[in-house]
Structure 1
Amino acid sequence: MINAADSSFKISVPFSIAGAITHESLGATKEEKKQALKQISKQLGKLQDKMYANNRYSVLICLQGMDTSGKDSLIREVFKYFNARGVNVYTFKQPTSRELKHDYLWRHYIALPEKGKFAVFNRSHYENVLVTRVHPEYLLNENLPGIDTVEDVPADLWQQRFEQLNNFEKHLAENGTIILKFFLHISKEEQRQRLLRRLNKKSHNWKFSPADLDERGFWEDYQKYYEEALNSTSKPHAPWYAIPADDKKAARYLVAKTIYDELLKYDIREPEVDDEVMENINIYKRKLSTEEPG
C-alpha cells in the first residue's frame, strides 16, 4: 500500500500522546518502503533546487523524539538527494559557555536557514521546555534574574516559554520561513529493544551511553511534558506531526512525504527567464554549437 502521508498525523489539540500510535507499517514490505522513500526523497531534492532558484522561502525542519527514536538515520536518508549547498543540519546538545551568555533562543536564531535553503534541527528549541523541564536544575546555568535555586522557578515559566516559542515561530513564518515540526513517537518497548541492540552489536556499542538508561527512568515525565508542549505549540503556521516511529523505514517515508506535500502548497517556481535571453536563445545555442573546441 504506501502513499499514506496526509494530514492524519498533524497534531490538532487536544492531543493525547498515549492515544497516538507508535507503529505504522504502511501495508508495505521493507523493500517497498525503501523504494518509496528513494522516490519521494529524489522529488524533494528537485523541489529544493527549485526553491533555491526561487529564493523566496526557507524551510525549517524540527525533529524531536525520545533517545533512539531514529532522528540521525532519518536525516541521512530523507535528505540524501539534496544538493549539499541547500541544506544544513544542526544538532543542539548541552549549551556551551558562550551560548549560555545569551538567551536560550540565541543559538537557534543564528542557525536559521537562508532564503532558498533548508535547516534541519536535530533536537531543537523545544529542548528548553522538555529536557530543562524534566531537569529544572539546568535552568540555573542560564543565570536568569531571580532564579538562584530550583525552588525559585516560577510556576508560570513554562507557559511563558511556550508563548515565546510561538512568537518566535510566528515571526519566522511571517517572513518566509516554512516551519514543519516532527515528533518521532516510539514506544517504551521499542526503545528498550534499540538500546539492547546497541549493546549486543559490537559495531553499535559506541552509540550507547549510560545516560540513556538514566533518561529512560524519566520516561513518564517526558511523555507528560511532550504532550503539553505539542498541545501548546502546534499552530497553523508551525504545525507538529506525531510520526509513528517504531518502524524506522515507514517513519522516514512519512516525514519525507509530509514535507513534500506541504511544500507543494507554496508557490515555489524557478524564476522567469529574461526576455532578452528567450528572444535570442537560438542565437546563443548556435554560437556555442559552432564554437571551435580548444
Structure 2
Amino acid sequence: MPERNDSTVTEFILCWLTDQPELKLPLFPLFLGIYLLTVLGNLGMIILIVLSSHLHTPMYFFLSSLSFIDLCYSTAITPKMMVNFVAKKNVISYQECMTQLYFFLAFVISECHMLAAMAYDRYVAICNPLLYNVTMSYQVCSWMIGWVYGVGVIGASIHTFCMLRVVFCKANTINHYFCDLFPLMELACSSTFINEVFLLYLSAFNILVPTLAILGSYIFIIVSILRIKSTEGRFKAFSTCSSHFSAVAVFFGSLAFVYLQPFSLRSKDKGKVSSVFYTTVVPMLNPMIYSLRNRDVKLALSKLFHKMKFHV
C-alpha cells in the first residue's frame, strides 16, 4: 500500500447510525448478538466442512469460502461500530481508516463474485449433473476461488490507492459508522473526480456482472426445475432457490442502492441504513440460508455431535 498523502487530518470521527443518542444502549446488545451469531455461524460452518469428509465437495468448498469472507468483512466493520454505542466520541486514525476501507472493499467485492460462482455451481449441478464432476473439478474450483479473491484484492487496491491521493485538510467527521468511499470523498479538500470515475465503473462491474451471472444461472435452473415431473421435487428445488435468491437480492440490492447512484443524488442517512444490511445482517443470515437448512449439513452436525458424545 502506498504511503499516505500530506493530509493535515490525522484522525477521523465516525458518526452513529441515527441522530437519536437515546437508542445507543438499547441497540448495543442487538448488534452484539448479531455479531456473535455471525462469528459462531460462519466459523462453525468452516470447522464443520473441514471435519466432515462427505462435505468435501465443490458446493461446500464455496460455502466455506463464503463463510470466511462473511466473517472477515463483518469483523472489519462491526466491532468498531459497536464502540460507537458506548464511547462519547468514536475516533479512528487515518491509517486505521484506510486499512478498514481496504479490507472491507476486498472482502465485499469478493463476496459479490463468490455468490456468482456459487450460482454457477448450482447451475451445473442441476442442469448438467452428469458432467458435474468434470466441469467442477478441483482445478476449476481453485481457479474460480483465485479469481474471486484476485478481483477483490485488485478492486480494493485501486480504490484505496485513489483515496490515499485525496487530501483531507479540515473536516474530519465521517457521516457514517465506518470508513466508506462516499463519506470519505465528502470530506476531501482536493478533487475526487478520479475516485468517482473508478467507483462508478468498478461498482458497475462488481455488482452488475455477478448479478447478471446469477440471474442467468437461475433462469436455466428454473427451466430445468419446471421439467421435473414430481411436485414434491419441484417444491423442494424452488424452496432452496428462493432462499438463495432472497439473500442475493438483499445483498446486491443494498449494494446497488449505495454505490450505483450519482454522487450528487445519494441520500446519506438511507445509505447508512442500507449499509447495515450487507455489513451486519447478511453475514449473519448466510450460514442459515445456505447451510443450516441443508440436509447434508444437518447430517454432518449429527455425526459430529455423536462423535463428541462418544469420546466424552
TM-score w.r.t. the length of structure 1 is 0.35
Higher Rg: 1
Ranked by relative contact order (alpha carbons within 8 Å, sequence separation 6 or more), the top structure is 1
